Amino acid sequence: MAFPNWTEEHEAFRESVRRFTAEEIRPFAEKWQAEGFFPDEVFRKAGELGLLGVRFDPRWGGSGLDYWYTVILVEELVRGRDIGCVVGLLVQCEMATAVIHAHGSDALREEWLVPAIKGERIAALGVSESGGGSDVASLQTTATVDGDDYVINGSKIFISNGARADFVTLAVRTGGPGPDGVSLVVCPTDAKGFQVSRRLQKVDLHSSDTAELFFDDVRIPRRYLIGEEGRGFRYVMGAFQGERLVLSVMMNALCDDVLGETLSYLAERKAFGRPIASMQVWRHRMADWMAKLEASRALTYRAAEQLAAGDREGDLTVSMSKLFGADLVRGLVLDCAHAFGGYGFMEENYVARCSRGVQNWGIGAGTSEIMREIIAKHRMPAGPA
C-alpha cells in the first residue's frame, strides 16, 4: 500500500488548494515580494474556501479534518513561490488561532476564532521577546490584574503578521518566574497603548510583515484569557507540534520545487559541448539530494501520521523532522543555486532568491539546537548539572 494512502477526498482538497494557489498567489508572487507586502484580501479569499480552519471544529467554521489535510494545504501553497505569503496564511490558521481553538472559552472562540477562520480578522502570535529567544519560560511582558481587566506592559519582536493583525494571541506573565507564571490572552490591536514600533526588514520573505510590538498599559478584559492562568507555557509548547509539522512540510516542498527547477536547468544547459546533467559530478550531487529529500519527506509524513493518530511519539518525530529538514534546506538550496553558476546570484532567478534566507528555517518554532535537546531528552539520560 502506498504511503500516505491518499483518498479521493484528499485529492479533491489538493486540487482546490492548487487552484487557489495558481490563481491567487503565483501570478503576483514577484510583485508582492518587490513591494514587501501581500494584500489582506488573500486572507479573506482563503477563508471563503475553508483553508484557514482545516483542522478546527465545524462548530466554529472549521472543516474538522486531520493533519494530512494540513500537509496537503502546505505542499500546495508553497507552489505559489511566495513563502512570505504562505507564512502569513499559516500563522493565521496554524499558529495564532490553534490555542484559541484548543483552550479558549466558547465566547472567545465566537468573538475571535470564527472571524479568523473566515479571513475577516487577521491574527498574529506574540511570544518572542528581544531578550528571550527560545527561552519562552523567561518572557518579561506582564499582564497585571486590575478589577475586571488585565493591564499589559512589555514588548514582542519577530512577530509575523504583526503590522497588520487585528489581534495578537499574546504570551504574558501573570504570575511569578518560570513557566508556571506564563498565560495566554487575546489582545486586540486597536486597544489604547498598543503600538507597532517598527516593521522589521528581513533578508528574505519580504512580502510577510514582521514587526516589533509595544504594549504600554494596554487594558483588555480578563475574559480574553485563553484557558487557565499559569498554563500558557504548556499551551504554547503543545501548539509548537503543529507549527513544526507545517515548517517541515514547507521545507520539503520548497526543496522539491528548487530541485525540480535545477534538474530542468541542468538538462538544458550545455558546457564543453554536452548537457551539464550528463556530467557525473552533478548527476551524483543531485542524486544525493533526491535521496535526502525523499528521506526527509518520509520522516515528515511519519510525524503527520503519528500526530493524526494522537500518538505521543509524534512530538519526538516532528522534532526530528524539523531538524532534518532544516539541514536539508540549507544544503540543497545552496547547492542548487551553485549549479546555476552566475545566474545563481541573480535576483531574477527563483532558486537564487530561495538561497537568501536558508538559515531562518532552523530558527522558527524552536531552533535546531532546541530540536536536538528535545530528541536527546527522549532517548538519552540527562547528564550531571
Q: Quick check: is 315 in a domain?
A: yes
Question: What residue type is assigned to position 291 of the chain?
Answer: A
Q: Quick check: is 1 in a domain?
A: no
Alpha helices in the chain (DSSP H): 8-24, 29-35, 41-48, 67-78, 83-90, 98-103, 106-108, 114-118, 232-268, 280-309, 313-339, 350-354, 368-379
pLDDT at residue 364, as a whole number:
85
**Domain range spanning residue 152?**
123-229
> Each residue of 270-293: pLDDT tens digit?
878 888 888 989 999 999 999 999
Question: Is residue 87 exposed (0-12), middle (13-18) or buried (19+ Cβ within 10 Å)?
Answer: buried
The closest of 48, 41, 165 to 97, measured between CA atoms, is 165
Whether residue 380 has pLDDT greater than 90? no
| Tally of domains within the chain | 3
> Each residue of 147-200: pLDDT tens digit?
999 999 999 999 999 999 999 999 999 999 999 999 999 999 999 999 999 999
pLDDT at residue 8, as a whole number:
95
CATH of the domain at 224: 2.40.110.10
Q: Which helix (H) or strand (E) holds 197?
A: strand 194-199
Whether residue 2 has pLDDT greater than 70? no
Look at residues 183, 204, 229 and tell me which one is the last residue of a structural domain: 229
In a shared domain, residues 82 and 186: no
Question: What residue type is assigned to position 279 of the chain?
Answer: M
Helix (H, G, I), strand (E, B) or coil at 182: strand
In a shared domain, residues 90 and 173: no
> Each residue of 30-42: pLDDT tens digit?
999 999 999 999 9
Give the mean pLDDT of 226-232: 97
136 contacts 151 by C-beta, under 8 angstroms = no
CA within 13 Å, CB half, 13: 20
For the chain, percent of residues with pLDDT exceeding 90: 85
In a shared domain, residues 199 and 112: no
- What confidence tier does 136 reach under pLDDT thresholds 50, 70, 90? confident
Q: Quick check: is 3 in a domain?
A: no
Look at residues 118, 149, 182 and tell me which one is the last residue of a structural domain: 118
In a shared domain, residues 70 and 98: yes
Look at residues 164, 194, 229 and tell me which one is the last residue of a structural domain: 229
User: How far apart (Å, rounded) are the C-alpha atoms in residues 158 and 338?
Assistant: 30
All cell numbers assigned to 209: 510583515
Q: Quick check: is 384 in a domain?
A: no
All cell numbers assigned to 69: 489535510
Helix (H, G, I), strand (E, B) or coil at 21: helix
CATH of the domain at 17: 1.10.540.10
| Main-chain phi, psi angles of 78, to 5 degrees | -65, -25
User: How far apart (Å, rounded) are the C-alpha atoms in residues 222 and 144?
Assistant: 10
Q: Quick check: is 176 in a domain?
A: yes
Whether residue 65 has pLDDT greater than 60? yes
In a shared domain, residues 263 and 331: yes
Omega before 381 within 30 of 0, i.e. cis: no
Give the mean pLDDT of 67-96: 96
Residue positions annotated with a catalytic role: 243
pLDDT at residue 383, as a whole number:
59
Helix (H, G, I), strand (E, B) or coil at 275: strand
Question: What residue type is assigned to position 353 of the chain?
Answer: R
Whether residue 221 has pLDDT greater than 90? yes
Please state which of the ranges 53-67, 101-115, 181-195, 275-289 shows the lowest mean pLDDT: 275-289
In a shared domain, residues 358 and 274: yes
Omega before 177 within 30 of 0, i.e. cis: no
- What confidence tier does 382 reach under pLDDT thresholds 50, 70, 90? low
The residues with which 184 forms a beta bridge, in sequence order, are 171, 226
